[in-house]
Amino acid sequence: MTDLSIVAPAQGAKQAREAVVRVRDLVVGFGKHIVMKGLDLDIYRGEVLGFVGGSGQGKSVLTRAILGLVEKRAGRIEVFGEDRDRLSAAERRRLERRWGVLFQNGALFSSLTVRQNIQMPMRESRKVSPRLMDELAMLKLDLVGLPASAADKFPSELSGGMVKRAALARALALDPELLFLDEPTSGLDPIGAADFDELISTLQRTLGLTVFMVTHDLDSLYSICDRVAALAEGRVIAAGTMEEMLACDHPWLRAYFHGVRGSRLTGALRRPKDETPCGETTPGETERDETEKGETWKPAPITR
């Protein structure tokens, strides 16, 4: 198995980075089905970490386990240095206010307007006057690029991209430091997805957010993620920069990033054979796909 360090800082980092989420030896299961089998993961402050893995491998389950919505059988999860197992109910609520979540499929309440959806977390956790809540909701709408006229619409009256933005506005309702996004661009067309990526990137930089993003979208991984972690067989099999992931020999990673869809995008990001950080033998020329042969590797900027 490729053993890319998931604890050490990314290559080139000058000093150890602060992990705002630290998961160690996590075991999660449902009945006899063990989904996480001793998983380790770090999410560093200020990064966008892309999280990939096959369908049904447990990406959403991990997200929910970190959020405390799924019971773990063993292991340790610390968020902002706090282990929720050791916190009182009030301390947990305080911790939960420091993150925002965009669940898979948007998950807006269909019977509430956009404004009411955005205000939901404010109602639950803050004593804020109705007038201030209205002002805050409009600010959040503006932040995610939605017009004021969207406030009184119901989710069914919005396009797919607008629903995602409204869900993002709700995730940002309490000014979180940490944002969990579970497949935020699924269901959007490529232009809508690219716009949404751009929005996440802008918000991440301007608000100084740390972002954990489950995604199948290779464009998102290339354009906005600082690092990528890959889940397979209940563990994180590798984590690193896109260049480091592309240099890995793990069969699943090679299939994922160098498959038909991936190789179109990866061409520009390939690195020389002798720079592999995996510490394993780089695959021979015969194992590489046709597009790579004879190419001179050039560093391509990650557009962020």
- Contacts with ligand ADP by CB under 6 A lie at 30, 35, 53, 55-61
Residue 186 interacts with Mg ion (CB under 5 A): yes or no: no
Distance CA 304, CA 59 (A): 25
Residue 5 interacts with Mg ion (CB under 5 A): yes or no: no
53 binds, among Mg ion, ligand ADP, none (CB under 5 to 8 A by kind): ligand ADP
When the beta carbons of 22 and 59 are compared against ligand ADP, the nearer one is 59
Nearest distance, CB of residue 236 and ligand ADP, angstroms: 13
12 binds, among Mg ion, ligand ADP, none (CB under 5 to 8 A by kind): none
When the beta carbons of 47 and 182 are compared against Mg ion, the nearer one is 182
Site pattern 42..81 for Mg ion (x: CB under 5 A): -----------------xx---------------------
Distance CA 42, CA 30 (A): 24
Listing DSSP states for the chain in one string gives -----SSSPPTT-SSPPPEEEEEEEEEEEETTEEEEEEEEEEEETT-EEEEEE-TTSSHHHHHHHHTTSS--SEEEEEETTEEGGGS-HHHHHHHHTTEEEE-TT----TTS-HHHHHHHHHHHH----HHHHHHHHHHHHHHTT--GGGTT--GGGS-HHHHHHHHHHHHTTT--SEEEEESTTTTS-HHHHHHHHHHHHHHHHHHT-EEEEE---HHHHHHH-SEEEEEETTEEEEEE-HHHHHT---HHHHHHHHSHHHHHHHGGG---GGG-TT-SPPPPGGGS-GGGTTPPP-------
Nearest distance, CB of residue 143 and ligand ADP, angstroms: 27
When the beta carbons of 6 and 52 are compared against Mg ion, the nearer one is 52
57 binds, among Mg ion, ligand ADP, none (CB under 5 to 8 A by kind): ligand ADP
- Closest residue to Mg ion in the complex (CB): 60
165 binds, among Mg ion, ligand ADP, none (CB under 5 to 8 A by kind): none
Is-contact 139 174, C-beta < 8 A?
no
When the beta carbons of 93 and 261 are compared against ligand ADP, the nearer one is 261
Both structure tokens of 161: 């991209």
When the beta carbons of 56 and 284 are compared against ligand ADP, the nearer one is 56
109 binds, among ligand ADP, Mg ion, none (CB under 5 to 8 A by kind): none
When the beta carbons of 32 and 127 are compared against ligand ADP, the nearer one is 32
Nearest distance, CB of residue 58 and ligand ADP, angstroms: 4
When the beta carbons of 35 and 172 are compared against ligand ADP, the nearer one is 35
Q: Could you list the residues that contact Mg ion (CB under 5 A)?
A: 59-60, 104
